[in-house]
Chain A
Amino acid sequence: MAVRPEQEQSVMDIWIEGRQWERFPWWFVGILGAILFMIFKIVSDPQYTRAYNAILPGLRLTLYITVVAFLAAVAIGLIAGLGRISQNFVLRNLATLYIEFVRGVPTLVLISTVAFVIVPGVANLLGIQTPRDQTPRAIAALAVIYGAFLAEVFRAGIESIPPGQMEAARSLGMTHFQAMIYIILPQAIRNMLPALGNDLIAMLKDSSLVSVLAVREITQEARLYSGSTFRFSETYLILTLLYLIMTIILSLLLQWYQRRLRNE
Protein backbone atom coordinates (compact mmCIF):
# COMPACT_ATOMS: atom_id res chain seq x y z
CA MET A 1 0.00 0.00 0.00
CA ALA A 2 1.68 3.15 -1.23
CA VAL A 3 1.20 6.30 0.79
CA ARG A 4 1.40 9.58 -1.06
CA PRO A 5 3.86 12.08 0.36
CA GLU A 6 1.13 14.67 1.04
CA GLN A 7 -0.82 12.18 3.06
CA GLU A 8 2.23 11.30 5.07
CA GLN A 9 2.80 14.98 5.67
CA SER A 10 -0.71 15.52 6.98
CA VAL A 11 -0.44 12.55 9.32
CA MET A 12 2.75 14.10 10.70
CA ASP A 13 0.96 17.41 11.15
CA ILE A 14 -1.80 15.82 13.17
CA TRP A 15 0.75 13.98 15.23
CA ILE A 16 2.70 17.19 15.94
CA GLU A 17 -0.49 19.06 16.77
CA GLY A 18 -1.43 16.25 19.10
CA ARG A 19 1.87 16.61 20.93
CA GLN A 20 1.33 20.34 21.27
CA TRP A 21 -2.09 19.65 22.68
CA GLU A 22 -0.36 17.38 25.18
CA ARG A 23 2.18 20.03 26.00
CA PHE A 24 -0.43 22.55 27.17
CA PRO A 25 -0.26 22.97 31.00
CA TRP A 26 -3.60 21.33 31.78
CA TRP A 27 -2.56 20.81 35.37
CA PHE A 28 -2.57 24.57 35.78
CA VAL A 29 -6.12 24.80 34.45
CA GLY A 30 -7.07 22.15 37.01
CA ILE A 31 -5.56 24.17 39.84
CA LEU A 32 -7.14 27.39 38.61
CA GLY A 33 -10.49 25.60 38.40
CA ALA A 34 -10.17 24.34 41.97
CA ILE A 35 -9.29 27.83 43.18
CA LEU A 36 -12.20 29.43 41.33
CA PHE A 37 -14.56 26.77 42.67
CA MET A 38 -13.27 27.49 46.19
CA ILE A 39 -13.82 31.20 45.82
CA PHE A 40 -17.32 30.50 44.57
CA LYS A 41 -17.98 28.33 47.65
CA ILE A 42 -16.60 30.94 50.03
CA VAL A 43 -18.84 33.58 48.51
CA SER A 44 -21.98 31.45 48.28
CA ASP A 45 -21.84 28.97 51.18
CA PRO A 46 -22.05 30.47 54.71
CA GLN A 47 -20.21 27.49 56.26
CA TYR A 48 -17.27 28.15 53.96
CA THR A 49 -17.51 31.89 54.54
CA ARG A 50 -17.26 31.37 58.29
CA ALA A 51 -14.30 28.99 58.03
CA TYR A 52 -12.56 31.38 55.66
CA ASN A 53 -13.10 34.35 57.98
CA ALA A 54 -11.72 32.31 60.87
CA ILE A 55 -8.51 31.35 59.06
CA LEU A 56 -7.75 34.60 57.24
CA PRO A 57 -6.48 36.61 60.24
CA GLY A 58 -3.55 34.16 60.43
CA LEU A 59 -2.38 34.99 56.92
CA ARG A 60 -0.38 38.04 57.90
CA LEU A 61 1.50 36.04 60.50
CA THR A 62 2.19 33.21 58.04
CA LEU A 63 3.70 35.67 55.57
CA TYR A 64 5.56 37.59 58.27
CA ILE A 65 7.10 34.43 59.74
CA THR A 66 8.06 33.14 56.31
CA VAL A 67 9.75 36.35 55.19
CA VAL A 68 11.59 37.13 58.42
CA ALA A 69 12.67 33.53 59.02
CA PHE A 70 13.86 33.24 55.42
CA LEU A 71 15.97 36.39 55.64
CA ALA A 72 17.47 35.15 58.91
CA ALA A 73 18.06 31.72 57.35
CA VAL A 74 19.90 33.33 54.43
CA ALA A 75 22.19 35.14 56.87
CA ILE A 76 22.80 31.97 58.89
CA GLY A 77 23.21 29.94 55.71
CA LEU A 78 25.79 32.35 54.35
CA ILE A 79 27.85 32.23 57.53
CA ALA A 80 27.57 28.46 57.94
CA GLY A 81 28.23 27.90 54.24
CA LEU A 82 31.40 30.00 54.43
CA GLY A 83 32.36 28.08 57.57
CA ARG A 84 31.87 24.80 55.76
CA ILE A 85 34.49 25.69 53.14
CA SER A 86 36.77 27.61 55.50
CA GLN A 87 40.47 26.81 55.73
CA ASN A 88 40.10 27.06 59.50
CA PHE A 89 39.34 23.58 60.83
CA VAL A 90 37.51 24.88 63.92
CA LEU A 91 35.07 26.92 61.85
CA ARG A 92 34.72 24.09 59.36
CA ASN A 93 33.88 21.57 62.07
CA LEU A 94 31.47 23.89 63.85
CA ALA A 95 29.59 24.53 60.61
CA THR A 96 29.49 20.82 59.74
CA LEU A 97 28.31 19.96 63.26
CA TYR A 98 25.43 22.42 62.93
CA ILE A 99 24.42 21.18 59.49
CA GLU A 100 24.57 17.50 60.42
CA PHE A 101 22.68 18.17 63.64
CA VAL A 102 19.79 19.81 61.81
CA ARG A 103 19.78 17.14 59.11
CA GLY A 104 19.61 14.34 61.64
CA VAL A 105 16.48 15.48 63.49
CA PRO A 106 12.90 15.65 62.14
CA THR A 107 11.79 19.19 61.37
CA LEU A 108 8.72 18.98 63.57
CA VAL A 109 10.82 17.87 66.53
CA LEU A 110 13.49 20.48 65.88
CA ILE A 111 10.94 23.28 66.00
CA SER A 112 10.11 22.39 69.59
CA THR A 113 13.77 21.76 70.43
CA VAL A 114 14.79 25.20 69.21
CA ALA A 115 11.79 26.93 70.77
CA PHE A 116 11.97 25.25 74.20
CA VAL A 117 15.65 24.34 74.59
CA ILE A 118 17.88 26.43 72.38
CA VAL A 119 16.14 29.81 72.48
CA PRO A 120 15.84 29.87 76.32
CA GLY A 121 19.40 28.56 76.53
CA VAL A 122 20.80 31.29 74.32
CA ALA A 123 18.68 33.92 76.06
CA ASN A 124 20.09 32.73 79.38
CA LEU A 125 23.64 32.90 78.05
CA LEU A 126 23.10 36.43 76.80
CA GLY A 127 21.40 37.33 80.08
CA ILE A 128 18.18 38.47 78.41
CA GLN A 129 14.64 37.35 79.04
CA THR A 130 13.13 34.67 76.83
CA PRO A 131 10.36 36.31 74.83
CA ARG A 132 6.91 35.29 76.07
CA ASP A 133 5.43 35.58 72.61
CA GLN A 134 5.92 32.37 70.67
CA THR A 135 6.36 34.09 67.31
CA PRO A 136 10.06 34.97 67.74
CA ARG A 137 10.72 31.39 68.84
CA ALA A 138 8.94 30.09 65.77
CA ILE A 139 11.00 32.37 63.56
CA ALA A 140 14.21 31.32 65.29
CA ALA A 141 13.29 27.65 64.85
CA LEU A 142 12.58 27.96 61.13
CA ALA A 143 15.68 30.11 60.62
CA VAL A 144 17.93 27.59 62.35
CA ILE A 145 16.48 24.69 60.33
CA TYR A 146 16.57 26.43 56.97
CA GLY A 147 19.93 28.02 57.76
CA ALA A 148 21.40 24.53 57.60
CA PHE A 149 19.75 23.78 54.24
CA LEU A 150 20.85 27.14 52.87
CA ALA A 151 24.39 26.59 54.12
CA GLU A 152 24.66 23.74 51.65
CA VAL A 153 23.12 25.90 48.93
CA PHE A 154 25.69 28.63 49.60
CA ARG A 155 28.53 26.12 49.69
CA ALA A 156 27.50 24.63 46.35
CA GLY A 157 26.95 28.11 44.89
CA ILE A 158 30.39 29.31 45.94
CA GLU A 159 32.02 26.12 44.72
CA SER A 160 30.30 26.55 41.34
CA ILE A 161 32.45 29.64 40.68
CA PRO A 162 35.74 28.75 38.93
CA PRO A 163 38.75 29.13 41.27
CA GLY A 164 40.31 31.50 38.74
CA GLN A 165 37.90 34.21 39.89
CA MET A 166 39.25 34.12 43.43
CA GLU A 167 42.84 33.92 42.18
CA ALA A 168 42.40 36.91 39.91
CA ALA A 169 40.86 38.92 42.75
CA ARG A 170 43.64 37.95 45.16
CA SER A 171 46.31 38.69 42.56
CA LEU A 172 44.96 42.24 42.43
CA GLY A 173 45.54 42.57 46.16
CA MET A 174 41.99 42.04 47.40
CA THR A 175 41.64 40.31 50.74
CA HIS A 176 39.87 36.96 50.83
CA PHE A 177 36.88 38.74 52.38
CA GLN A 178 36.75 41.47 49.72
CA ALA A 179 37.00 38.88 46.97
CA MET A 180 34.17 36.88 48.54
CA ILE A 181 31.88 39.90 48.89
CA TYR A 182 32.55 41.69 45.61
CA ILE A 183 33.55 38.91 43.23
CA ILE A 184 32.48 35.44 44.32
CA LEU A 185 29.14 35.90 46.10
CA PRO A 186 27.45 38.09 43.46
CA GLN A 187 28.14 35.37 40.89
CA ALA A 188 27.34 32.53 43.28
CA ILE A 189 23.98 34.02 44.29
CA ARG A 190 22.95 34.20 40.66
CA ASN A 191 23.59 30.48 40.32
CA MET A 192 21.79 29.87 43.61
CA LEU A 193 18.55 31.67 42.74
CA PRO A 194 16.58 28.59 41.67
CA ALA A 195 17.58 26.74 44.85
CA LEU A 196 16.87 29.79 47.02
CA GLY A 197 13.45 30.11 45.42
CA ASN A 198 12.64 26.47 46.09
CA ASP A 199 13.66 26.88 49.71
CA LEU A 200 11.54 30.00 50.10
CA ILE A 201 8.51 28.02 48.90
CA ALA A 202 9.45 25.12 51.19
CA MET A 203 9.77 27.61 54.06
CA LEU A 204 6.29 28.96 53.37
CA LYS A 205 4.89 25.45 53.58
CA ASP A 206 6.92 24.50 56.65
CA SER A 207 5.75 27.63 58.44
CA SER A 208 2.61 25.53 59.06
CA LEU A 209 4.68 23.37 61.43
CA VAL A 210 5.06 26.19 63.94
CA SER A 211 1.39 25.67 64.78
CA VAL A 212 2.81 23.16 67.30
CA LEU A 213 4.01 26.23 69.20
CA ALA A 214 0.43 27.59 69.18
CA VAL A 215 1.52 30.48 66.99
CA ARG A 216 -1.65 31.72 65.35
CA GLU A 217 -0.72 31.50 61.70
CA ILE A 218 -3.24 30.03 59.26
CA THR A 219 -2.71 26.38 60.15
CA GLN A 220 -3.18 27.08 63.84
CA GLU A 221 -6.26 29.18 63.13
CA ALA A 222 -7.64 26.32 61.06
CA ARG A 223 -6.97 23.84 63.85
CA LEU A 224 -8.65 26.04 66.43
CA TYR A 225 -11.69 26.73 64.27
CA SER A 226 -12.24 23.17 63.12
CA GLY A 227 -11.66 21.85 66.62
CA SER A 228 -14.41 24.03 68.06
CA THR A 229 -16.94 23.77 65.22
CA PHE A 230 -16.18 20.30 63.84
CA ARG A 231 -16.28 21.84 60.35
CA PHE A 232 -13.17 19.89 59.34
CA SER A 233 -13.81 19.45 55.65
CA GLU A 234 -14.65 23.12 54.93
CA THR A 235 -11.73 24.37 57.06
CA TYR A 236 -9.04 22.14 55.66
CA LEU A 237 -10.19 22.56 52.08
CA ILE A 238 -9.83 26.30 52.47
CA LEU A 239 -6.49 25.96 54.26
CA THR A 240 -5.16 23.69 51.52
CA LEU A 241 -6.17 26.08 48.78
CA LEU A 242 -4.72 29.08 50.61
CA TYR A 243 -1.29 27.40 50.66
CA LEU A 244 -1.69 26.33 47.05
CA ILE A 245 -2.49 29.86 45.90
CA MET A 246 0.49 31.29 47.76
CA THR A 247 2.99 28.71 46.54
CA ILE A 248 1.82 28.97 42.95
CA ILE A 249 1.99 32.77 42.94
CA LEU A 250 5.45 32.59 44.50
CA SER A 251 6.66 30.03 42.03
CA LEU A 252 5.36 32.05 39.06
CA LEU A 253 7.05 35.18 40.43
CA LEU A 254 10.34 33.33 40.80
CA GLN A 255 10.13 31.93 37.27
CA TRP A 256 9.41 35.37 35.89
CA TYR A 257 12.31 36.88 37.83
CA GLN A 258 14.74 34.21 36.67
CA ARG A 259 13.70 34.64 33.07
CA ARG A 260 14.24 38.38 33.42
CA LEU A 261 17.72 37.84 34.86
CA ARG A 262 18.63 35.45 32.09
CA ASN A 263 17.55 37.90 29.40
CA GLU A 264 19.51 40.74 30.98
Chain B
Amino acid sequence: MSNPIEIAPDEIIVVDELRKFFGAVEAVKGVNLRVKRGEVVVVIGPSGSGKSTVLRCINHLEVPTSGAVYLDGIHLEDRRTNINQVRTEVGMVFQQFNLFQHLTVLDNVIVAQRLVRKRSNEEARRIAMEQLTRVGIPEKANVLPRQLSGGQQQRVAIARALAMTPKVMLFDEPTSALDPEMIKEVLDVMLELAQDGMTMVVVTHEMGFARAAASRLVFMDQGRIVESGDPEEMYHKPQHQRTRDFFNKILTHG
Protein backbone atom coordinates (compact mmCIF):
# COMPACT_ATOMS: atom_id res chain seq x y z
CA MET B 1 0.00 0.00 0.00
CA SER B 2 1.66 3.14 -1.20
CA ASN B 3 -0.69 5.80 0.01
CA PRO B 4 0.36 9.35 -0.77
CA ILE B 5 -0.66 10.47 2.72
CA GLU B 6 0.35 9.37 6.21
CA ILE B 7 -2.19 7.15 7.94
CA ALA B 8 -1.66 6.07 11.54
CA PRO B 9 -2.51 2.42 12.23
CA ASP B 10 -5.41 3.33 14.51
CA GLU B 11 -7.01 5.72 12.00
CA ILE B 12 -9.79 3.66 10.46
CA ILE B 13 -11.41 6.45 8.42
CA VAL B 14 -9.35 9.10 6.67
CA VAL B 15 -11.08 11.66 4.49
CA ASP B 16 -8.54 13.74 2.62
CA GLU B 17 -9.36 17.00 0.80
CA LEU B 18 -12.74 15.65 -0.24
CA ARG B 19 -14.61 17.63 -2.88
CA LYS B 20 -17.90 16.78 -4.51
CA PHE B 21 -19.76 18.56 -7.29
CA PHE B 22 -23.32 17.79 -8.32
CA GLY B 23 -23.37 19.41 -11.70
CA ALA B 24 -22.46 23.00 -10.96
CA VAL B 25 -23.27 22.71 -7.23
CA GLU B 26 -20.24 22.18 -5.04
CA ALA B 27 -21.71 20.20 -2.16
CA VAL B 28 -18.42 19.47 -0.38
CA LYS B 29 -15.53 21.90 -0.66
CA GLY B 30 -12.45 20.22 0.70
CA VAL B 31 -13.20 18.23 3.85
CA ASN B 32 -10.55 16.54 5.99
CA LEU B 33 -11.57 14.11 8.68
CA ARG B 34 -9.72 11.42 10.59
CA VAL B 35 -11.53 8.93 12.79
CA LYS B 36 -9.74 6.54 15.13
CA ARG B 37 -10.94 3.08 16.04
CA GLY B 38 -13.62 3.27 18.72
CA GLU B 39 -14.26 6.96 18.21
CA VAL B 40 -17.77 8.35 17.92
CA VAL B 41 -17.84 11.41 15.70
CA VAL B 42 -21.06 13.39 15.58
CA VAL B 43 -21.53 15.68 12.58
CA ILE B 44 -23.94 18.58 12.84
CA GLY B 45 -24.76 21.47 10.55
CA PRO B 46 -27.60 23.10 8.66
CA SER B 47 -29.51 21.32 5.92
CA GLY B 48 -27.61 21.30 2.64
CA SER B 49 -24.22 21.77 4.29
CA GLY B 50 -22.88 18.54 2.78
CA LYS B 51 -23.12 16.18 5.79
CA SER B 52 -24.87 13.39 3.90
CA THR B 53 -22.55 13.73 0.95
CA VAL B 54 -19.46 13.29 3.13
CA LEU B 55 -21.03 10.28 4.83
CA ARG B 56 -22.01 8.72 1.50
CA CYS B 57 -18.50 9.20 0.16
CA ILE B 58 -17.19 7.17 3.11
CA ASN B 59 -18.89 4.05 1.73
CA HIS B 60 -18.61 5.15 -1.89
CA LEU B 61 -22.35 5.59 -2.45
CA GLU B 62 -21.15 8.89 -3.88
CA VAL B 63 -17.92 9.11 -5.81
CA PRO B 64 -15.82 12.14 -4.83
CA THR B 65 -15.00 14.64 -7.54
CA SER B 66 -11.55 14.92 -6.02
CA GLY B 67 -9.77 13.98 -2.83
CA ALA B 68 -9.65 10.57 -1.24
CA VAL B 69 -11.24 8.33 1.35
CA TYR B 70 -9.28 5.56 3.12
CA LEU B 71 -10.96 2.85 5.11
CA ASP B 72 -8.64 0.82 7.27
CA GLY B 73 -5.88 1.98 4.94
CA ILE B 74 -7.70 0.98 1.77
CA HIS B 75 -8.07 3.73 -0.82
CA LEU B 76 -11.71 3.63 -1.96
CA GLU B 77 -11.21 5.55 -5.18
CA ASP B 78 -8.45 3.22 -6.33
CA ARG B 79 -9.76 1.26 -9.32
CA ARG B 80 -8.28 -1.95 -7.94
CA THR B 81 -10.25 -1.68 -4.70
CA ASN B 82 -13.16 -4.12 -4.44
CA ILE B 83 -15.79 -1.69 -3.25
CA ASN B 84 -18.30 -4.38 -2.30
CA GLN B 85 -15.72 -5.93 -0.03
CA VAL B 86 -15.05 -2.57 1.64
CA ARG B 87 -18.75 -1.93 2.09
CA THR B 88 -19.18 -5.11 4.11
CA GLU B 89 -16.96 -3.42 6.70
CA VAL B 90 -19.06 -0.24 6.77
CA GLY B 91 -22.62 -0.39 8.06
CA MET B 92 -24.95 2.41 7.06
CA VAL B 93 -28.22 3.51 8.63
CA PHE B 94 -30.46 5.84 6.63
CA GLN B 95 -32.96 8.47 7.62
CA GLN B 96 -35.74 6.57 5.81
CA PHE B 97 -34.71 3.15 7.23
CA ASN B 98 -34.79 1.59 3.74
CA LEU B 99 -35.78 -1.85 4.96
CA PHE B 100 -36.45 -4.32 2.16
CA GLN B 101 -40.23 -4.17 1.98
CA HIS B 102 -40.79 -7.62 0.50
CA LEU B 103 -38.75 -9.46 3.14
CA THR B 104 -39.56 -10.26 6.75
CA VAL B 105 -37.53 -8.59 9.48
CA LEU B 106 -35.44 -11.74 9.86
CA ASP B 107 -34.78 -12.04 6.12
CA ASN B 108 -33.85 -8.36 6.01
CA VAL B 109 -31.09 -9.13 8.47
CA ILE B 110 -30.12 -12.42 6.79
CA VAL B 111 -30.09 -11.65 3.07
CA ALA B 112 -26.76 -9.79 2.81
CA GLN B 113 -25.06 -12.15 5.27
CA ARG B 114 -25.88 -15.01 2.91
CA LEU B 115 -25.13 -13.24 -0.38
CA VAL B 116 -22.14 -11.16 0.62
CA ARG B 117 -20.61 -12.73 3.72
CA LYS B 118 -21.45 -16.20 2.31
CA ARG B 119 -22.52 -17.44 5.71
CA SER B 120 -24.53 -20.62 6.08
CA ASN B 121 -28.23 -20.28 6.64
CA GLU B 122 -27.93 -21.45 10.26
CA GLU B 123 -25.11 -19.06 11.06
CA ALA B 124 -26.81 -16.10 9.37
CA ARG B 125 -30.02 -16.87 11.23
CA ARG B 126 -28.22 -17.14 14.56
CA ILE B 127 -26.39 -13.84 14.05
CA ALA B 128 -29.60 -12.18 12.89
CA MET B 129 -31.42 -13.25 16.05
CA GLU B 130 -28.49 -12.07 18.17
CA GLN B 131 -28.62 -8.63 16.58
CA LEU B 132 -32.41 -8.40 16.74
CA THR B 133 -32.14 -9.23 20.44
CA ARG B 134 -29.48 -6.57 20.83
CA VAL B 135 -31.79 -3.90 19.38
CA GLY B 136 -34.63 -5.24 21.48
CA ILE B 137 -37.11 -6.71 18.99
CA PRO B 138 -36.44 -10.44 18.55
CA GLU B 139 -40.19 -11.07 18.76
CA LYS B 140 -40.75 -9.17 15.50
CA ALA B 141 -38.50 -11.48 13.47
CA ASN B 142 -41.28 -12.85 11.29
CA VAL B 143 -43.29 -9.75 10.46
CA LEU B 144 -42.97 -7.50 7.43
CA PRO B 145 -41.36 -4.06 7.84
CA ARG B 146 -44.56 -2.14 7.12
CA GLN B 147 -46.15 -3.74 10.19
CA LEU B 148 -43.58 -2.03 12.43
CA SER B 149 -43.45 1.46 13.88
CA GLY B 150 -40.78 3.82 12.60
CA GLY B 151 -38.63 3.32 15.69
CA GLN B 152 -38.82 -0.45 15.34
CA GLN B 153 -37.97 -0.24 11.65
CA GLN B 154 -34.92 1.85 12.37
CA ARG B 155 -33.76 -0.62 15.02
CA VAL B 156 -34.12 -3.43 12.48
CA ALA B 157 -32.07 -1.36 10.06
CA ILE B 158 -29.36 -1.07 12.71
CA ALA B 159 -29.48 -4.83 13.34
CA ARG B 160 -29.25 -5.46 9.60
CA ALA B 161 -26.09 -3.37 9.36
CA LEU B 162 -24.57 -4.87 12.53
CA ALA B 163 -25.18 -8.42 11.32
CA MET B 164 -22.47 -7.90 8.71
CA THR B 165 -20.02 -7.41 11.61
CA PRO B 166 -18.80 -4.07 10.27
CA LYS B 167 -15.79 -2.19 11.60
CA VAL B 168 -17.50 1.17 11.21
CA MET B 169 -21.11 2.34 11.42
CA LEU B 170 -22.42 5.41 9.61
CA PHE B 171 -25.71 7.02 10.62
CA ASP B 172 -27.39 9.65 8.44
CA GLU B 173 -29.99 11.46 10.58
CA PRO B 174 -31.33 8.16 11.93
CA THR B 175 -34.04 9.81 14.05
CA SER B 176 -35.14 12.67 11.78
CA ALA B 177 -38.02 10.72 10.24
CA LEU B 178 -39.30 9.46 13.58
CA ASP B 179 -42.17 10.61 15.76
CA PRO B 180 -40.75 12.21 18.92
CA GLU B 181 -41.80 9.35 21.20
CA MET B 182 -39.72 6.88 19.17
CA ILE B 183 -36.50 8.82 19.03
CA LYS B 184 -35.29 7.62 22.41
CA GLU B 185 -35.54 3.89 21.66
CA VAL B 186 -33.27 4.36 18.64
CA LEU B 187 -30.82 6.66 20.40
CA ASP B 188 -30.59 4.18 23.30
CA VAL B 189 -29.54 1.44 20.90
CA MET B 190 -26.95 3.76 19.35
CA LEU B 191 -25.65 4.81 22.76
CA GLU B 192 -25.19 1.20 23.77
CA LEU B 193 -23.36 0.54 20.53
CA ALA B 194 -21.06 3.46 21.21
CA GLN B 195 -20.36 2.16 24.70
CA ASP B 196 -19.53 -1.26 23.22
CA GLY B 197 -16.67 0.46 21.37
CA MET B 198 -18.09 0.63 17.85
CA THR B 199 -16.52 3.26 15.61
CA MET B 200 -19.33 5.55 14.55
CA VAL B 201 -19.88 8.61 12.40
CA VAL B 202 -23.30 10.03 13.17
CA VAL B 203 -25.08 12.89 11.43
CA THR B 204 -27.75 14.06 13.85
CA HIS B 205 -29.20 17.11 15.50
CA GLU B 206 -29.77 15.27 18.77
CA MET B 207 -27.44 17.24 21.02
CA GLY B 208 -28.32 15.00 23.95
CA PHE B 209 -26.88 12.04 22.10
CA ALA B 210 -23.87 14.04 20.95
CA ARG B 211 -23.03 15.12 24.49
CA ALA B 212 -23.54 11.63 25.89
CA ALA B 213 -21.79 9.59 23.23
CA ALA B 214 -19.56 11.71 21.01
CA SER B 215 -15.83 11.72 21.42
CA ARG B 216 -15.78 14.55 18.92
CA LEU B 217 -18.27 17.02 17.51
CA VAL B 218 -17.90 18.33 13.98
CA PHE B 219 -19.80 21.35 12.70
CA MET B 220 -20.24 21.67 8.94
CA ASP B 221 -21.56 24.62 6.97
CA GLN B 222 -21.64 25.28 3.24
CA GLY B 223 -19.58 22.24 2.31
CA ARG B 224 -16.81 22.82 4.86
CA ILE B 225 -15.95 21.76 8.37
CA VAL B 226 -16.18 25.03 10.31
CA GLU B 227 -14.97 23.69 13.61
CA SER B 228 -14.60 20.45 15.50
CA GLY B 229 -13.65 19.42 18.99
CA ASP B 230 -14.81 18.15 22.34
CA PRO B 231 -18.62 18.17 22.40
CA GLU B 232 -19.04 19.83 25.80
CA GLU B 233 -16.45 22.49 25.07
CA MET B 234 -17.87 23.27 21.67
CA TYR B 235 -21.40 23.29 22.97
CA HIS B 236 -20.63 25.79 25.70
CA LYS B 237 -17.96 27.85 23.93
CA PRO B 238 -18.37 27.67 20.15
CA GLN B 239 -15.44 29.39 18.43
CA HIS B 240 -17.33 30.60 15.37
CA GLN B 241 -20.34 32.81 14.96
CA ARG B 242 -21.91 30.33 12.51
CA THR B 243 -21.67 27.55 15.07
CA ARG B 244 -23.25 29.78 17.70
CA ASP B 245 -26.08 30.69 15.32
CA PHE B 246 -26.66 27.04 14.55
CA PHE B 247 -26.84 26.04 18.21
CA ASN B 248 -29.29 28.86 18.88
CA LYS B 249 -31.43 27.71 16.01
CA ILE B 250 -31.65 24.05 16.97
CA LEU B 251 -32.20 24.92 20.61
CA THR B 252 -35.10 27.28 19.87
CA HIS B 253 -36.66 25.26 17.04
CA GLY B 254 -36.07 21.78 18.44
How many Å lie between the Cα of A120 and that of B98 in the bound state? 48
CB distance from A110 to the nearest CB of B (A): 36
Quick one: given A164-B96, A167-B61, A169-B112, are A174 and B102 in contact (CB under 8 Å)?
A: no
Interface membership of A249, Cβ < 8 A:
no
Distance between B15 CB and nearest chain A CB, rounded to angstroms = 17
> B94 an interface residue at 8 Å Cβ cutoff?
yes
Shortest A28–chain B CB gap in Å is 34
Is A182 a contact partner of B111 (Cβ separation < 8 A)?
yes
For B90, what are the chain A residues with a Cβ–Cβ distance below 8 Å? Answer: 171
When A164-B94, A182-B111 are in contact, do A171 and B87 touch as well, CB less than 8 Å?
Answer: yes
Q: Please, what's the 1-or-0 string for B151-163, where 1 marks a CB less than 8 Å from any CB in chain A?
A: 0000001001100
A173 near B87 with CB under 8 A, answer yes
Report whether B98 and A173 are in contact in the complex, using a CB–CB cutoff of 8 Å: no
> What residues of A have a CB within 8 angstroms of the CB of B85 in the complex?
173
Contacts of B251 in A (CB 8 A): none
Chain B residues positioned under 8 Å from A186 (CB to CB): 102
How many residues on B have C-beta within 8 angstroms of the other chain's C-beta atoms? Answer: 25
Count of residues in A whose CB is under 8 Å from the partner chain: 18
Cα A171 to Cα B84 in complex, Å, equals 8
A175 touches B84 (CB 8 A): yes
CB contact list, A36-74 vs B, under 8 A: none
Quick one: which of A178, A182, A186 has the most chain B CB within 10 A? A182
Interface residues of B (CB under 8 A from A): 59, 61, 84-85, 87-88, 90-92, 94, 96, 98-102, 111-112, 115-117, 157, 160-161, 164
10 new A-B contacts, CB < 8 A, other than A168-B100, A173-B116, A182-B111, are A164-B96, A165-B101, A168-B98, A170-B87, A171-B87, A173-B87, A175-B84, A183-B102, A186-B102, A187-B102
